[in-house]
């Protein structure tokens, strides 16, 4: 059997040495503010009474399409509470946004994949990043960590790179109000069957994938400073809104590919099937893609692989042979060179190229994820070492054995139909402090880590 612990130990030492050598990563396009409010049942009941209980209850039976009134807001929150299910809706009305602002929050956090990755790569790993921040308000800027994190600022036709705080923007705040409730949370006669959250997005920018003029006009200039790019935020697009942003993304991909800069797409669940198909069409322009089982399954669905899509969601832990089959189909259909799959308990990477550094980058990513789950936030690259103490997931043994049997996996690596398959069992933190943004931590650490190992 493989000595995973010693492979883990090597991987983190290698990453501590190599990752800071990366000279620049471009991050587009979504950054927002997460404002978290822990609901109080008395307060919520009073607000519902004041707004008109009857109407509110109606919306707690059936969610509105978007939020245009306070009754819809409170009803949607109650919809989530009654079912213990998460939901997210766009808040259209300014008075409702004002109401939410006055209701307040208990915690503010950096939100959006770009914001989260900028703070991790730039603020913690010390890798210079250039971030696309759709709106730079003072509040948004204040959530960026110190470190080599930059946004482009155009002055007299010239691009300067400045820290988001130094940009001194007075733009809108894109706030995602997150209303959290615990299991057993009571509102009138209702009781939450499990803990969850309702999100009201007071955000006109990320929901349409708005791209700033600086990025449209001076993109060629901006990317002179980077060796890698990570793109995310396409999940918010719909059949109605995708056209313009998709054209901009294609233009950006063209520039990046011309310069030989590998681009990673961090997939996130994209409800609109039409948009999913459009993403599939341009996936070959990306070097790499990161996704989980639900996302891979949703792609198999639009590729017409219904059975495989179902198989991916049928078992816990997820059947690794089904995952490999799906990754092979995706790679062959699109030509994407690297697919990084993550699920609870293990990761797989299918690559066109070979080398143990692919596996070692996955190990580094798994440690980063465990450190994040353990501490809520990582504060330095060295600190990730502490996650070595978290045990390797026991259930991953059966996964590894299945891969050995099927593909002759050795030390976590196999050759499958001309591709390399790399597997790692992950370290699972039993009582995580936080799991927000953990997927982004995994994918960005693995992608940047792998590249750094080739420097």
Which one of 203, 272, 360, 440 is the catalytic residue?
Answer: 440
By the rule CB under 5 A, 115 interacts with Mg ion: no
User: What are the residues whose beta carbons fall under 8 Å from the beta carbon of 328, sequence distance 6 or more?
Assistant: 350, 416, 417, 419
**Residue 428: HSE in the Cβ half-sphere, 13 Å Cα cutoff:** 13
Residue with tokens 């089904």: 322
User: What are the residues whose beta carbons fall under 8 Å from the beta carbon of 138, sequence distance 6 or more?
Assistant: 169, 170
Q: Return the structure tokens found at 286.
A: 């990306």
Q: Among Mg ion, ligand ADP, none, what does residue 76 contact (CB within 5–8 Å per kind)?
A: none
By the rule CB under 6 A, 342 interacts with ligand ADP: yes
What mask, x for binding Mg ion by CB under 5 A, covers residues 326 to 345? --------------------
Q: Closer to ligand ADP at the Cβ: 192 or 387?
A: 387
By the rule CB under 5 A, 122 interacts with Mg ion: no
Q: Choose among 429, 439, 427: nearest CA to 12.
A: 427
Count interface residues toward Mg ion (CB under 5 A).
Answer: 1
First-to-last C-alpha distance (Å) of the chain: 30
112 is in an annotated binding site: yes
Q: Among ligand ADP, Mg ion, none, what does residue 264 contact (CB within 5–8 Å per kind)?
A: none
Q: Closer to ligand ADP at the Cβ: 128 or 437?
A: 437
Q: Closer to ligand ADP at the Cβ: 14 or 342?
A: 342
Q: Closer to ligand ADP at the Cβ: 188 or 344?
A: 344
The interface region with ligand ADP, picked from 63-71, 279-287, 317-325, 427-435 by CB under 6 A, is: 427-435
Count interface residues toward ligand ADP (CB under 6 A).
Answer: 17
Q: Closer to ligand ADP at the Cβ: 78 or 446?
A: 446
Its sign, for the CA torsion 426, 112, 14, 379, is negative
Q: Return the structure tokens found at 315.
A: 């078992």
Residue with tokens 């998709």: 246
Q: Among ligand ADP, Mg ion, none, what does residue 343 contact (CB within 5–8 Å per kind)?
A: ligand ADP
319 is in an annotated binding site: no
By the rule CB under 6 A, 439 interacts with ligand ADP: yes
The interface region with ligand ADP, picked from 161-169, 179-187, 193-201, 423-431 by CB under 6 A, is: 423-431
342 is in an annotated binding site: yes
What mask, x for binding ligand ADP by CB under 6 A, covers residues 200 to 229? ------------------------------
Asked if residue 149 lies in contact with residue 122, where contact means CB atoms within 8 angstroms, the answer is: yes
| Distance separating alpha carbons of residues 26 and 89, to the nearest angstrom | 29
Secondary structure (DSSP) of 213-272: HHHHHSHHHHGGG-SEEEE--GGG--TTT-HHHHHHHHHHHHHHHHTT--EEEE------
Q: Among ligand ADP, Mg ion, none, what does residue 28 contact (CB within 5–8 Å per kind)?
A: none
What mask, x for binding ligand ADP by CB under 6 A, covers residues 269 to 308? -----------------------x----------------
| Distance separating alpha carbons of residues 211 and 146, to the nearest angstrom | 24
The neighbouring-strand residues paired with 158 are 155
Q: Closer to ligand ADP at the Cβ: 167 or 341?
A: 341
CB atoms within 10 A of CB 84: 16
| Distance separating alpha carbons of residues 59 and 57, to the nearest angstrom | 5
Query: Could you say which residues in the range 349-408 bind ligand ADP, by CB under 6 A?
Result: 369-370, 373
Q: Which of 130, 429, 446, 448 binds ligand ADP (CB under 6 A)?
A: 429
Minimum gap (Å) between residue 292 Cβ and Mg ion? 6
Residue 440 annotated among the catalytic residues of the structure: yes
Q: Which of 439, 441, 442, 453 binds Mg ion (CB under 5 A)?
A: 439
Q: How many contiguous H segments (helices) and E segments (strands) does the chain have?
A: 17, 18
By the rule CB under 6 A, 432 interacts with ligand ADP: yes
Residue with tokens 């030390």: 411
Secondary structure (DSSP) of 136-205: --HHHHHTSPSSSEEEEEEETTEEEEE-TTTTT------EEEEEEE-TT-EETTEE-SS-EEEEEEE-SS
The interface region with ligand ADP, picked from 54-62, 91-99, 132-140, 339-347 by CB under 6 A, is: 339-347
What are residue 113's phi and psi, to 5 degrees?
A: -60, -40
By the rule CB under 6 A, 234 interacts with ligand ADP: no
User: What are the residues whose beta carbons fall under 8 Å from the beta carbon of 210, sequence distance 6 or more?
Assistant: 29, 134, 204, 245
Catalytic residues: 440
Binding site for ligand ADP (CB under 6 A): 292, 342-344, 369-370, 373, 426, 428-429, 432, 435, 437-440, 442
Q: Annotated binding residues for ADP, as ranges?
A: 292, 342-343, 429, 439
Annotated binding site for D-glucose: 34, 88, 112-113, 176, 440
Binding site for Mg ion (CB under 5 A): 439
Binding residue numbers for Mg(2+): 266, 295, 440
């Amino acid at each position: 059997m493989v000595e995973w612990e010693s492979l883990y130990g090597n991987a983190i030492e290698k990453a501590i040495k190599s990752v800071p050598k990366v000279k620049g990563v471009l991050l587009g396009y979504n950054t927002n503010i997460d404002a978290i409010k822990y609901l109080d049942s008395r307060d919520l009941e009073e607000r519902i009474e004041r707004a008109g209980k009857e109407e509110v209850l109606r919306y707690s039976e059936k969610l509105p399409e978007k939020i245009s009134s306070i009754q819809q807001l409170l009803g949607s929150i109650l919809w989530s509470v009654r079912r213990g299910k998460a939901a997210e809706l766009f808040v259209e009305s300014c008075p409702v946004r004002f109401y939410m602002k006055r209701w307040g929050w208990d915690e503010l956090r950096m939100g959006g994949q770009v914001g989260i990755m900028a703070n991790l790569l730039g603020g913690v790993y010390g890798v210079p990043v250039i971030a696309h921040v759709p709106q730079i308000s003072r509040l948004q800027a204040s959530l960026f960590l110190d470190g080599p994190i930059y946004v482009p600022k155009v002055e007299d036709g010239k691009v300067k790179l400045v820290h988001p705080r130094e940009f001194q923007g007075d733009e809108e705040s894109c706030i995602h109000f997150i209303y959290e409730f615990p299991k057993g949370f009571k509102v009138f006669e209702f009781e939450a069957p499990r803990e969850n959250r309702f999100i009201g997005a007071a955000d006109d920018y990320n929901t349409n994938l708005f791209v700033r003029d600086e990025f449209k006009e001076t993109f060629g200039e901006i990317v002179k400073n980077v060796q890698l790019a990570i793109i995310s935020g396409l999940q918010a697009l719909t059949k109605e809104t995708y056209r313009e942003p998709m054209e901009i993304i294609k233009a950006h991909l063209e520039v990046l590919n011309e310069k030989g800069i590998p681009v990673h797409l961090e997939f996130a669940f994209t409800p609109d099937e039409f948009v999913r198909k459009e993403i599939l069409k341009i996936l070959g322009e990306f070097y790499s893609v990161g996704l989980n089982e639900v996302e891979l399954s949703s792609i198999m669905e639009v590729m017409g692989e219904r059975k495989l899509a179902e198989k991916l969601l049928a078992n816990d832990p997820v059947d690794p042979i089904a995952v490999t089959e799906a990754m092979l189909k995706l790679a062959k259909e699109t030509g994407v060179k690297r697919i990084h799959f993550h699920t609870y308990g293990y990761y797989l990477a299918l690559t066109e190229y070979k080398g143990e550094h692919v596996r070692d980058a996955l190990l580094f990513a798994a440690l980063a994820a465990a450190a994040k789950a353990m501490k809520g936030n990582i504060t330095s690259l060295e600190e990730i070492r502490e996650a070595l103490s978290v045990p390797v997931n026991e259930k991953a043994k059966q996964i590894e054995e299945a891969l050995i049997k099927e593909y002759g996996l050795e030390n976590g690596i196999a050759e499958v139909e001309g591709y390399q398959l790399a597997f790692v069992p992950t370290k699972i933190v039993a009582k995580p402090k936080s799991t927000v943004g953990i997927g982004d931590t995994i994918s960005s650490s693995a992608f940047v880590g792998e590249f750094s190992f080739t420097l």
